[in-house]
Amino acid sequence: MKFKIVFFISIIFSFGCLKVLNINITNPNAKIVIDAVITDGAGPFYVNISRATSINETMAYSPKDSARIYIGDNLGQRDTLIKVKEGVYQTRTLRGITGRTYFIEVHIDNNIYTASNKMPSKINFDKIDIDSLSINGLGVYTIIPRFTDPPTKGNFYRFVQKINDSLDNSYYLLNDNLNNGLENNTPLISINSAIRVKRNDSVRVEMQCINKEEYAYFSTLSQQTNFGINANTAPSNPKTNFNGNVLGFFSCHSSEYKSIRILK
| Touching another protein, residues 200-239 (CB under 8 A) | 215-224, 226-239
Of residues 71 through 130, those in contact with another protein by CB under 8 A are none
Residue 72, H or E segment: strand 67-73
**How many Cα atoms within 13 Å fall on the side-chain side of residue 79?**
26
Nearer to another protein, 5 or 263 (CB): 5
Of residues 121 through 180, those in contact with another protein by CB under 8 A are 131-137, 144, 153, 160, 167, 169, 173, 175, 177-178, 180
Count of all residues that appear for the chain in the document: 264
Residue 213, H or E segment: helix 212-227
Among 19, 64, 199, 264, binds another protein (CB under 8 A): 19
Nearer to another protein, 76 or 264 (CB): 264
Contact between residue 175 and residue 186 where contact means Cβ atoms under 8 Å apart: no
**185 touching another protein, by CB under 8 A:** yes
Gap between the Cα atoms of 68 and 105, Å rounded: 8
**Residue 135 Cβ vs another protein, minimum distance, rounded to whole Å:** 7
Of residues 28 through 67, those in contact with another protein by CB under 8 A are 30-31, 33, 35, 37, 48, 50-59, 61
Nearer to another protein, 92 or 153 (CB): 153
Which among 204, 196, 200, 201 is positioned nearest to 140, based on CA atoms?
Answer: 196
Among 73, 249, 250, 256, binds another protein (CB under 8 A): 249
Among 155, 211, 251, 254, binds another protein (CB under 8 A): 251
**Residue 121 Cβ vs another protein, minimum distance, rounded to whole Å:** 20
Sorted by sequence, the CB contacts under 8 Å of residue 48 that are 6+ apart come out as: 33, 34, 35, 36, 61, 87, 88, 89
The DSSP string of 96-130 is B-TT-EEEEEEEETTEEEEEEEEPPPP----EEEE
Nearer to another protein, 93 or 154 (CB): 154
**Residue 76 Cβ vs another protein, minimum distance, rounded to whole Å:** 28
